[in-house]
Chains A and B, each alone.
Chain A
Amino acid sequence: MIGHTLHAGRRALYPGLRYFSETPCGEIIEDVLERTDYPRVTKQASLYVHWPYCLRRCSYCNFNKYIPKDNNDHVMTECLQRETETLLQLSQVSCITSVFFGGGTPSLAHPSTIAAVLETVSRRAYLSDKAEVTLEVNPTPAGKTKLEDFCRAGVNRFSIGVQSLKDEDLKILGRDHSPHQALQTVDEARRLCPGRVSVDVMFGRPNQSVESWENELSELLTVCDDHVSLYQLTLERGTQLFKQVRGGEVTMPAEDVTAEMYQCARRTLQQHGFLQYEVSNFARQNAVSHHNRSYWKGGQYIGVGPGVLREARTQTLEPDVWIREVQQRGHATRRRIQLSHLELLEEVLVMGMRMTQGINPKHWESFSPHLGLHEVFGTSSDVQELIRSGQLILDDRGLRCSWDGLALLDSMLPALLVELQRQMSQRDDRADGRTKRSSDPQ
């Protein structure tokens, strides 16, 4: 559920390999030879478990998911366990710092499935009692009644896909719950995991105005817990909603309107004591999502489940095929991607800048010991211009966006990437020069 959040492929075996559990139909492809000069190879990782099934398809969702044909909970459980086991073994990770059950609609899974997977993790690696274990929840009455059992199974954080408090809008979005049911689910979750409940809410919805959004958000803030994730609805090709918009049945708010909605939400949340720690995530009393923050910080992750990440969406990513593959080989990893050092730094930059705290020099150094943050960005005239215009900040605390700059991050990233690529190639040239000189025969 909460399909649009796309909790999908997760980084594994930092910084070397990522394991993507994919359509199981081939051998593991080694893209790049392993490099040995990476810093900070750790034995820690976070784990993402994908539950591919939904009861219905939301009108805005183009994420690959499946409506279950029959009850195969038992088989799914077995396969998720088996793959978790195999990937933990292959990755040599000894400590799992957080677990996230995403989907699809993982709250459709039986609590015993969740328990079984967590038990497998504990058997193969160290999983602390305090480790964050999040489950995405679809706020239907059925979902609500299972929350307590999920807690018993080991879940200690819920992420609830409220999306909207307007009945009409939930219908347009094709959601299968009412605002009332959503609020009840939030209450129940807060009772079970006080301070560890997140609500997902969506803006830029069809026919939405800035004013109605402001009111809706204020209403939500009176009932929510300490974490809010804010999403802008993006119109994806091939969805029901896309057809409706193109056919003129519904209208999407204009670019300037959604920009205003975003700024207005940021202000409102701040007024209610929520600190923005990432482009779309806000927390009170430091109730941040450790799991997601680990992605933005470039941490390792392991992904388990069918169709965790796909580059070519045209493929059918049948859970059935995944099941067969796991049963036969113990895992369904189709591709292992090795990132080059530059690619890794690009990711650290792009993901790190999404956080309000940005990238601090220490954090950067752990990925790039030979080329410091200030060396990369300190001299660029483009960066200077962004600093001068107040969008970007570069100081002792590192590189980060200003309040205004964060909303324009995607306009700044290409410039930062160009600078990083330039500095890296200059550094490589210098290094090559040295090698050449030293290897010159006398």
Chain B
Amino acid sequence: MSFYLVKRWFKTPLMRQVLQFKVCRRKIQSYNMTYTLLRHSWMKSLPVFSSSFKMLSTKTDKDTIDMSKFPVDRIRNFCIIAHIDHGKSTLADRLLEMTGAIAKTVKNKQVLDKLQVERERGITVKAQTASLIYSHQGQQYLLNLIDTPGHVDFSYEVSRSISACQGVLLIVDANQGIQAQTVANFYLAFEAQMAIIPVINKIDLKNADPERVEKQIEKVFDLSCEECIRVSAKLGTNVEMVLQAIVDRIPPPVASIDDPFKALVFDSNFDHYRGVVANIAVFGGQVKKGNKIVLAHLGKTFEVNELGLLRPHEHPTQKLCAGQVGYIVAGMKDVKEAQIGDTLYLQDQPVETLPGFKPAKAMVFAGMYPMDQTEYPALRNAIERLTLNDSSVTVQRDSSVALGAGWRLGFLGLLHMEVFNQRLEQEHNASVIVTAPTVPYKAVLSSPKLIKEHGSEVITIVNPAQFPEKSVVSEYLEPMVLGTIITPDTYTGKIMTLSLKRRGIQKNMVYIDEQRVMMKYLFPLNEIVVDFYDNLKSLSSGYASFDYENADYQAADLIKMNFLINGEPVEELITIVHRDHAYNTGKAMCERLKESIPRQMFEVAVQAAIGSKIIARETIKAYKKNVLAKCYGGDITRKMKLLRRQAEGKKKLRRIGCVEVPKDAFINVLKRKD
């Protein structure tokens, strides 16, 4: 999908057309607000949530929400997208409070961000859904907020949610203005042909300059100033206008209650007691408790045990109707049974399946190994549990002689990988060795024999050890990304130098206002996976923002670099580098190896080689003396203890030729630098 985005980036006329088509502008009229009386009733009936929310109502009737009161034209499905820290979660908190989904208290901070990693990093990883009941001009509306992860790395999650939505709130910080992620998110929404409501947040800040931001929005996104709503999510200023805009500007979903039941599974969670809890968007008809439903992909039939709204916590209802969004529990025991993108229909009333989702493509790979092999089963469980709720991570079993049994995991991007690791540590208390990330390369094979063997001319290489030799390849290809950098113009010089070093090709550079520049670079993904972002941040004193989208593959002069220890190649150290970086990479890795391999009884040569040519070398000098110069009766016990420990450790050493290399050495060399 991102690939198409890149293409379309340059086609402004088309963009205009689409905008005109979908943004229906309406003047905002007088607003007469009444909150629904039943807004708090669900809480009492779900005591499990009462610890975090105040009880404001004594009503206990569970099913006061009659879903048939919300026909399609009273439903709006929307999501909020924003750059990190632009206030997405705060705005969501306010929307929830104002519609009574949650009580108004100072404690409401990032209600939708349930994960520790989300709160710590101020990002949303897992999409959350909240149905808001809002009264506007005497009518009750059902507004479904689908909170989505903000980063392109989670574009799978984003696009997944987006397709259940018809509009987005695009939030921009009134002080910081448009950032790289804002741009990326905008195009995702734009691609999905959604109504976009620009919201300028944090107008209460001293340095807020909403006018400048409006101009940026106009310039970059071609959205007029009048469309922007200036708010302070923190103080609640003008949030009311946002709710009205949702009703007025976002079209209702296209769905008919008269059609046979048809729903899209757009997310799923696993609950130990009830099995799979699927989040669905109903595209036609209705579904009730007790209905027999079929999952189109597997053709399996289940009985609906429970369904309801997410406000944001589960609130059971009797039914869900066309255009509505909610959850469903139907005795599915395996997340694989409720595949995201699958279509649901009633037994005996088959429908044409929905287009579903393109599977996300892993673009960043890293090896993961338990610190100790005895922790393997525990780590396997932890990874399984995490991937249960994040199917965008690809898992492949892998084993390294040095690091033992482990996995090669594929992620959508760098942040995705970091978040996964952090969750693994925080939620599952697993300590892991994570190798430096690599990217999937491609090779165009030249030998007919090999083509036959692989069944295709182009092969994808995830493991550097399987990188084919130049002699059988007509061309190597590397994945590219289109990077967006937004920065104050004082740093453009430095950023251009950095980008050039990373083999970036400048595609575009525009001033989005008087001081800020937006640059577009085509980068090899490999060049930005390790420390590009950190460098960018430090050379711009934290002011530059960066984001990227995938941009297909390009031919590249790639080289497979071997590392030899006393002449023996070490498979787990094989690295793919661009010819221009071969020397520096080889030298740096040899130095790290030298630091990590202990002295041996003989001299050890550490070499980096391309083919048969050695391009870098470090020497580890031999031990000249290693014997304790005193050993009498009393030392025996202590010395024996030490020697027995060494003998035990020796069994775990990786032997390369005669050289004994401790696991730590591999960890130091292969690990990501912190």
Contacts and interface: CB of A to CB of B under 8 A. Distances in A.
Interface of A: 4-11, 48, 230-232, 234, 255-256, 258-260, 262-263, 279-280, 292, 295, 301, 303, 308-309, 311, 343, 346-347, 350-351, 354, 385, 389, 391, 406-415, 417-418, 421
Given A6-B630, A6-B632, A9-B633, A407 B643 contact: no
A9 B634 contact: yes
Name the 4 nearest CB pairs between A and B, nearest first: A8-B634, A259-B624, A259-B625, A417-B647
Contact of A230 (B601, B602, B629): B629
A354 B625 contact: no
Contacts of B636: 9, 11, 295, 347, 350-351
Contacts of B646: 413-414, 417
Interface in B632-670: 632-640, 643-644, 646-647, 649-651, 658
B630 A280 contact: yes
Q: Is the interface on chain B under 10, 10 to 19, 20 to 34, or 35 or more residues?
A: 20 to 34
Given A280-B629, A346-B640, A413-B643, A8 B635 contact: yes
B644 A309 contact: no
Interface in B327-378: none
Interface in B578-633: 600-602, 621, 623-633
Contacts of B634: 6-10, 308-309
Given A414-B650, A418-B651, A279 B631 contact: yes
22 contacts: A4-B630, A48-B633, A256-B624, A259-B623, A260-B624, A279-B627, A280-B631, A311-B637, A346-B640, A346-B643, A346-B644, A347-B636, A351-B636, A354-B631, A389-B601, A410-B628, A411-B600, A412-B601, A413-B643, A414-B647, A414-B650, A415-B647
B503 to A, nearest CB: 43
Interface in B371-423: none
Contacts of B633: 7-11, 48, 295, 301, 303, 309
A232 B625 CA distance: 11
B661 to A, nearest CB: 15
Contact of A389 (B602, B625, B644, B647): B602
Given A7-B633, A351-B636, 15 more contacts: A4-B630, A5-B630, A7-B632, A7-B634, A48-B633, A230-B629, A232-B629, A308-B634, A309-B633, A309-B634, A347-B636, A407-B625, A407-B626, A409-B626, A414-B650
A410 B602 contact: no
Contacts of B632: 5-8, 292, 295
B639 to A, nearest CB: 7
Interface of B: 600-602, 621, 623-640, 643-644, 646-647, 649-651, 658
A303 B632 CA distance: 13
Contacts of B628: 234, 279, 410
Contacts of A303: 633
A256 B630 CA distance: 19
A271 B636 CA distance: 31
A411 B643 contact: no
A347 B635 contact: no
B635 A6 contact: yes
A298 to B, nearest CB: 10
B132 to A, nearest CB: 64
Given A311-B637, A350-B639, A421-B647, A411 B601 contact: yes
B630 A350 contact: no
A407 B630 contact: no
Contacts of B621: 256
A267 B633 CA distance: 27
Given A5-B632, A350-B640, A409 B627 contact: yes
Nearest to A418: B647
B31 to A, nearest CB: 73
A408 B601 contact: yes
Nearest to A295: B633
B629 A408 contact: no
A211 to B, nearest CB: 17
Contacts of A350: 636, 639-640, 643
A406 B626 CA distance: 9
A2 B658 CA distance: 40
Contacts of A389: 601-602
Contacts of B637: 9, 309, 311
B623 to A, nearest CB: 6
A408 B631 CA distance: 15
Given A6-B632, A7-B633, A8-B633, A414 B625 contact: no
B640 A406 contact: no
Contacts of A409: 626-627
A410 B633 CA distance: 17
A410 B627 contact: yes
A262 B623 CA distance: 13
Contacts of A308: 634
Contacts of B629: 230-232, 234, 262, 279-280
A125 B651 CA distance: 46
A276 to B, nearest CB: 12
A433 B649 CA distance: 29
B624 to A, nearest CB: 3
A342 to B, nearest CB: 10
A213 B601 CA distance: 25
B650 A407 contact: no
A413 B600 CA distance: 13
B627 A347 contact: no
B598 to A, nearest CB: 10
Nearest to A10: B633
B306 to A, nearest CB: 59
A406 B650 contact: no
Contact of A347 (B626, B640, B651): B640
B623 A408 contact: yes
Contacts of A412: 601
Contact of A385 (B623, B631, B658): B658
Nearest to A343: B640
Contacts of B640: 343, 346-347, 350
A32 B602 CA distance: 41
Contacts of A413: 643, 646-647
Given A9-B636, A408-B623, A411-B623, A418 B630 contact: no
A292 B637 CA distance: 16
A418 B623 contact: no
Max chain A C-beta neighbours (<10 A), residue from B632, B643, B647, B649: B632
A385 B566 CA distance: 15
Max chain A C-beta neighbours (<10 A), residue from B600, B630, B635, B643: B630
Contacts of B600: 411
Contacts of B639: 350
A367 to B, nearest CB: 15
Given A350-B640, A411-B601, A262 B630 contact: no
A262 B625 contact: yes
A204 to B, nearest CB: 8
Nearest to A202: B629
A347 to B, nearest CB: 6
A116 B288 CA distance: 102
A230 B630 CA distance: 8
A410 B626 CA distance: 6
A411 B626 contact: yes
A390 B539 CA distance: 56
Contacts of B601: 389, 391, 408, 411-412
B383 to A, nearest CB: 34
A96 to B, nearest CB: 15
Contacts of A9: 633-634, 636-637
B627 A407 contact: yes
A44 B119 CA distance: 74
Contacts of A301: 633
Contacts of A411: 600-601, 623, 626
Contacts of A292: 632
B201 to A, nearest CB: 54
Nearest to A339: B640
B584 to A, nearest CB: 30
